[in-house]
Structure formats: structure tokens, C-alpha cells
Chain A
Amino acid sequence: MRNDVRSLRGALGLSQAALGEQLGVSRQTVIAIENGRYDPSLPLAIKIARFFGSTVEEVFHV
């Protein structure tokens, strides 16, 4: 699933590891989400969207 996590992360100047720490996931999971290789669960997707001050629909694109 396409998403804007990488660009949103970059806008905040966060590394993948730092974002993972904030979200409670591993750096590898952040990488997998950004590359569209892994679709997060609903709770994690909501957590990501809220972290960036956005909505799930705005961050993730089906």
C-alpha cells in the first residue's frame, strides 16, 4: 500500500530508527512500511497517522 510516511518523516527530520522508537516498532518495520512491503495493522496505522497529525486516509493510499 502506497503511503507518505517517508516524506512525512523527512519533513520532521527524523531518522527511521527515531520514528520506530516513537511508534514502538523496529527500524526494519519502518523501512518495510515506507517501501510498501508491509501494511500496518489498523491500530498501528492510526498511531502513525496521529503521530504525524494527520488521518489514516491521508497517510495511506489504497
Chain B
Amino acid sequence: MSDEKHEPGSTATRTVSRAAGEHGVPAVGIGIGVLYLILGIARGQVGQGLIGLAIMLAYVALLLGLRRRSETAQLLNGRPTDERQAQVLLQASALTGQVLAAVLVGAFLVSLAADSRYTAVLSGLAAVTGVTFVAGTAWFSRRG
């Protein structure tokens, strides 16, 4: 057997991991914080924008500060180093997707019952969720 380190995770995990790189997650976090600020300024809510930026900067600082001492922080930085860590990220992603789907469908039903103006948006999001899940199941079942 080759002595090369076995690259962890599925093809999808490896692709995302390579694309993110060493600083991908922190960079995205800072970018989101800056966006919060820009949108806050644009809406005349500078305080909220600054709070959003501060929260994201604190999150990034925590991730970077703890990544060598905490496996969770390391994984949240998007850098699994072996197959088990890649599996942890996949399981967490699947759980997140399931929770979001349930919340989305619930919100859609509530909005429908209340005749809310957000029903169309929520139904669209729920439809995207459902189609993605079906397509993903079909795709990965064929790929083995």
C-alpha cells in the first residue's frame, strides 16, 4: 500500500477543502462581516452593521485562536486531516440540511396558514431544498 497520506473524505469534501484553502473560512467570515457593515451603512443602521462586523471578527478570531487546540475549531476552519474528520463534517452538514429543511417546511406551512406575504418566497426555498435533496440522492446513488 502506498505510503502517501490518504486524502480524506468524499470527492465533494476534498473539492471544497482544496477550494477553501488554509484561509478560506476566515476570509469568508471577514467578508460577511464587511458585508454586514456595508449593508448597515446603506440602510442607515451603522450600529447594527458594526455589531455584525464585530460578531464575525470575534468568530474568526476564535476559530483561528483555537484551531490548534480544538478539533472542533479545526474542523470549523474547514480543514479535515483524515477520513474520520471528513465524515464528521459530512454528518454535521447532513444534520444542518435536515434541520433547515424541517424549519423551512414548517415556516412555509405557518405562513400559508397565516396568509403571509412571505409564502411565495418560503415555498420557493422549500422547493429548492426538496429538488436538491432528490437530485443529490439520485446522483450519489448512481455514483456509488
Which A positions have Cβ atoms within 8 angstroms of B?
Answer: 24-26, 28-29, 32, 38, 40-41, 43-44, 46-47, 50
* B1 contacts across to A, CB distance below 8 A: 43, 46-47, 50
Closest to A38 in B: B84
Give the shortest distance, in Å, between B14 (CB) and chain A (any CB).
14
**Do residues A44 and B6 form an inter-chain contact, with CB atoms below 8 A?**
yes
Chain B interface residue count: which class? under 10
- Grouping DSSP codes into helix (H, G, I), strand (E, B) and loop, the A interface class, with mixed when no group exceeds half, is helix
Q: Of the candidates A26, A40, A46, A50, which one forms a contact with B85 in the assembled complex, judged by CB atoms under 8 Å apart?
A: A26
Q: Could you list 14 further interchain pairs (A-B, Cβ under 8 angstroms) beyond the known A47-B6, A50-B1? A: A24-B5, A24-B6, A24-B82, A25-B84, A26-B71, A26-B84, A28-B71, A29-B82, A29-B83, A29-B84, A32-B84, A40-B83, A41-B83, A44-B83
Whether, in the assembled complex, B81 has its beta carbon less than 8 Å from a beta carbon of chain A, the answer is yes
